[in-house]
Amino acid sequence: TPPISPFAIRFDAEAATLSPEGPTLERRMSDLEGLFADHDAWQAAVADGDPVVYRVQSSPVPEADRELPQSITTIERGTTAGECWMTKGHQHPNHQGEIYLALHGTGGLLMFDGDRVEWLDMTPGTIGYIPPGWAHRSVNVGDEPYSFLAVYPGGAGHDYGWVLEHGMGNRIHRTGDGFALRPYSA
């Protein structure tokens, strides 16, 4: 891909939009196979309308080496057998860093390096730093949609198989008065 020319990107934190717009991605429940602990509950949700769990809107900066793309992800409020709705989560194949800036709602950033687990509370204004080598997943733990801006190296890539193989260290469950982190095996 040839490098692109400088241009301005309008970032509207209130509306959680970037313009001009690049590709938009919609992830439905059926796209999250093998990620929730309760497979039967996941399957039932797919059969019952296959709801949109989150959307990712990108700017037109390409996902190519040395570029610096951005995207805004909005995760709907919901649970599957008590587990909070979340992104698939991924590892960067060549271990590059990334930042997330929380915009709306109440979320969390779950990170796992295969050994250690980290959780960051994400409320509007929080920048979560994802160091190289840490798989990352965003979770909506609040009562409204959770939105965040991501800025990441264009050549970082998305390894989803890593998460299917290693998990994310913890699972996030809704409780009576909030949420709780539980060990992955449960």
Given the rule CB under 6 A, which residues bind ligand M6P?
A: 56, 71, 73, 87-90, 150, 152, 158
Q: Tell me how far CA of residue 143 lies from CA of 30, 76, 84, 85, 179, in angstroms.
A: 23, 9, 11, 11, 11
Q: Applying CB under 5 A, what is the total number of residues that bind Zn ion?
A: 1
Distance of CA 12 to the CA centre of its chain: 19
The least distance separating ligand M6P from the CB of residue 107, rounded to whole angstroms, comes to: 11
The least distance separating ligand M6P from the CB of residue 154, rounded to whole angstroms, comes to: 10
List helix spans (H) across 101-149: none
DSSP tag of 14: T
106 binds, among Zn ion, ligand M6P, none (CB under 5 to 8 A by kind): none
179 binds, among ligand M6P, Zn ion, none (CB under 5 to 8 A by kind): none
The least distance separating Zn ion from the CB of residue 6, rounded to whole angstroms, comes to: 24
What would you measure as the largest C-alpha separation in the chain, in angstroms?
52
Q: Is the peptide bond before 20 cis (omega within 30 degrees of 0)?
A: yes
Q: Tell me how far CA of residue 121 lies from CA of 60, 94, 96, 129, in angstroms.
A: 29, 26, 22, 12
Q: Which stretch binds Zn ion (CB under 5 A): 19-27, 39-47, 94-102, 175-183?
A: 94-102
145 binds, among Zn ion, ligand M6P, none (CB under 5 to 8 A by kind): none
Site for Zn ion in 135-174 (CB under 5 A): none
Should residue 98 be labelled a site residue for Zn ion when binding is judged by CB under 5 A? Answer: yes
Q: Which residues bind Zn ion (CB under 5 A)?
A: 98
